[in-house]
Structure 1
Amino acid sequence: MPTRIALVTRPAVGGIRRHLHTLISGLQQAGWEPFLLAPPDFVLEGLSVPLYPMTFSLRQNPPEHIRTVFQLSRRLQACAPQLVHAHGLWAALLTAPAAWRAQLPFVFTLHNLVPRLSAPQRLFFQWAAKRAGRIIAVSEAVAHSAEAAGIPSQWMEVIPNGIDPTPFLQLPSRREARAQLGLPLERPLVASIGRLSKEKGFDVLLAAARQLAMRAVPPLVVIAGDGPERESLVQQASSLENVRLLGPLPSVEPLYAAADIVVIPSREEGQGIVAIEAMFARKAIVATAVGGLMETLDRGRYGRLVPPEDSTALAEAIETLLGDPALREHSIEAAFQRAMALYTADRMIARHLTLYRELLPKKIFC
């Protein structure tokens, strides 16, 4: 009989959703039987995975959260998994008491930096952590933020996100990619990809683009993605002839192929999947020195790091790399090798399976 594992998530976009897609696909290939406890509209394209719809409140409403805990508990008892894995801090806080009531092994992953918690939230976080067999952090920065909230480091294991490198090893040519996206062939191109939310810092990139527009040959700054800041960013970019907002793309690979530089202007970042994609795509990177980005890029060995919120430093780093092709090429191959060693989906899946087997009763594998 395949091992059944319940994966619990609240409404999630971006990195968590992509992580779940990769993890579930890997578990299915390994012969496990994963299923989701998630909002009813939670869809992972291209995957066939059972979804048991859950109602998660996004408000700070204790009575609603208590109802969710009991709903989760009933679901877990009815579905009878051998293991429960929650994704994200707030999903973990709600799942911990449900898994405890169902007497099931429980693990959770912190995908983002743990925010400053109120005293009651901090106590509940510590209680939930004690119920977990293990806590996974996607970077040392995330693990350190959990330690600052009172979680002992020995309870945590850092397992970085991993992705399938194959699409980035088979990119179209620069000419084909730019033609596909309707972008000029000869103009220097700076690409940035992600959820259009405040923490991703795209407004800072637009401020840098305004400075770059005054150069003799201003690069084209192309931003792909969607999110709550989209309307504001469109307004900010309306007066900038060197900026294009492409919206969400069905596939990001053509933009990587088209780009000369990939920029990650985040204000905060748990790890930085875009940086990993750029490393696999063999693209030079400019990023902010925040959170897990500093680990992914090894504190600047595999990409230029600038302070967050500093549009001038960002513009200068972009201009420096665009003006020096040899400098761009200097760390690209080493960054690619680093990504192959640390950030593949296969490695991530293998480390999860090892951890799961440590938590499950031995008789399951007999």
Structure 2
Amino acid sequence: MNILQALFFPPEQPGGVSSMIPYIQDRFLKLGWGMELFSLPKRVRNKGQEEVVFQTFDYTEYIGNSLIDKYIQTYKDYVWWTRMRIKKPYDIIHAHHPIAALVMKQLFPDTPLVVTVHSSYERELILNGKIKEGGPEHRFLTSIYRELESKADKLMTVSESFRSYLTPYVEWPERIKVIPNGFDEKRFKPIAHENEVTQLITVCRLVPAKGLDVLLHACAELKQRGCPFVLHIIGDGPIRKELEDLAQELDLYNDIIFYGYMLHPEEFMPFFDVFVLPSRAEAFGSVFAEAALCWLALVGTNVGGIAEQIEDGVNGLLVPPENAAALADALEKVVADPTYRYNLARAGWDKAKKVYSLQRVISQLKKVYNEVKAKPLQE
């Protein structure tokens, strides 16, 4: 069977999807399956001209909205690039972004389409203060889910919580299959080490949705309690300067290291002790599984896919979002007690190895692909 994995971002970009799909491709190729990756290069801008038509709603009422106009133009660009580059048929197309999915179904209507919805663009925009809940951008972006449902032969997502999130926007949420992300354990190499001062690390894009402002306030409280630590922040984004200013304001600048963007943080993580990320929302939170495979103790918020990965007090610690005091309490537990921290990390590693193995994902995807290929296309 020959399968096309249709991405939005090129595979060298950071993030759970981009970091996972090339490893999935490698495993399938070793099994004798054909699999290729496809994405839209960043250099392709304002090339597409074809009209966009959605089956389940009329988007033309949103014309003139800058964000929606940009989304539609990106759709047109994806059409233009796909027509230019794809010249052969595939048995199945597996798309990992709504634009990729809808374009592929438009251009190859007779090819079975599998779609994985990995995250919520509209929720990220709301949390980052870019759009308002219930506003035109929100209504447009959530309408896309019903369009995906109408076009996909199989609709999937990465966590039970995100399937619940999608429920109001689709007709048959019970048909959405959940396959959590999987990771090639060979990429992660835990290293025995003794840090005199507890090393905290977070890896994310520096945007409001990730809650790093809450983390800095929690670290300020931790410092006041006399708990020594160093916080390492890997990632970049629009609020980096704001976070650096906040660190200075909270008298934390000497306790924090801002690294900027790093392509393979998993090569760096094993030297640290605790992974912490107080996200305000997270469809899955791939970086938690990656940190667990590096044998780090996990501290996260009780939201979305994070809460499905962490059982509080067993393989990590969960705190409410937006609660710096509760986060400081959790961090104090893992900073003050190395044995407790070690036990949490070991339990997290055990679960990640069992539940988030790449082999599990390969097995589940093989079953989905065979089922989709065997059934008649949707009317």
Q: TM-score, normalising length from structure 2? A: 0.79
CA contact (8 A) 2:45 2:77 kept: no
- How big is each residue's C-alpha offset from its partner over 1:295-348, in whole Å with a ceiling of 9 and x where there is no partner? 111465421111112112111110122112333234433332221221011111
Write the distance in 1 (CA, Å) between the matches of 2:28 and 2:150. Answer: 26
Cα separation, partners in 2 of 1:55 and 1:95, compared to 1, 3 Å: farther
Q: What is the number of equivalent residue pairs in this alignment?
A: 340
Deviates more, 1:148-157 or 1:306-315: 148-157
Judging changes above 3 Å, is the alpha-carbon distance between structure 1 residues 250 and 121 closer, same or farther for their aligned structure 2 residues? closer
| Alignment partner of 1:268 out of 246, 262, 281 | 281
Superposition pairs of residues 23-102 of structure 1, within 5 angstroms: 23-41=24-42, 59-61=67-69, 64=73, 67-68=76-77, 70-71=79-80, 74=83, 78-100=87-109
Distance 1:207 1:273 in 2: 24
Q: 1:348 to 1:143 in 2, by over 3 A?
A: same
How many percent of aligned residue pairs carry the same amino acid?
Answer: 27
Give the Cα separation in 2 of the matches to 1:153 and 1:194.
30
Quote the offset at 1:106 in angstroms: 0.3
Shift of 1:361: 4.3
SS at match of 1:222: strand
AA paired with 1:247?
Answer: G
Change (3 A) 1:93 1:145: farther
Q: Out of 149, 163, 185, which is 1:129 matched to?
A: 149
Give the equivalent residue in structure 2 for 1:199. Answer: 209
Question: TM-score, with normalisation over the residues of structure 1?
Answer: 0.81
**TM-superposition CA deviations, 1:21-59 (whole Å, max 9, x none):** 2222222222233233312259xxxxxxxxx99968994
Q: Do the aligned partners of 1:263 and 1:287 also contact (CA within 8 Å) in 2?
A: yes
Pairwise CA distance, 1:228: 2.9
2: CA distance, partners of 1:55 / 1:36 = 21
Question: What residue is the counterpart of 1:144 in the other structure?
Answer: 164
**CA deviation vs aligned residue, 1:232-284 (integer Å, no higher than 9, x gap):** 32333344221111223354345433222211211111111121122222222
Aligned-partner residue type, residue 96 of structure 2: H
Contact 1:106–1:134 (CA under 8 A) maintained in structure 2: yes
Distance change in 2, residues 1:86/1:76 (3 Å)? farther
Distance in structure 1 (CA, Å) of the matches to 2:264 and 2:75: 39
The alignment partner of 1:31 has SS state of coil
Residue 135 of structure 1: how far off its partner (Å)? 1.0
Report the equivalent of 1:210. Answer: 220
Is 1:106–2:113 an aligned residue pair?
yes
- Unaligned ranges ≥5, structure 1: 43-51, 176-184
CA drift of 1:114 comes to 6.8
Give the corresponding residue for 2:54.
Answer: none
For 2:38, the aligned partner's letter is L
d(CA) in 2 for partners of 1:89 and 1:132?
10
- SS for the counterpart of 2:68 is coil
- Local SS of the residue matching 1:60: helix
How many angstroms apart in 1 are the aligned matches of 2:227 and 2:280? 28
Contact 1:38 1:54 in 2 (8 A): no
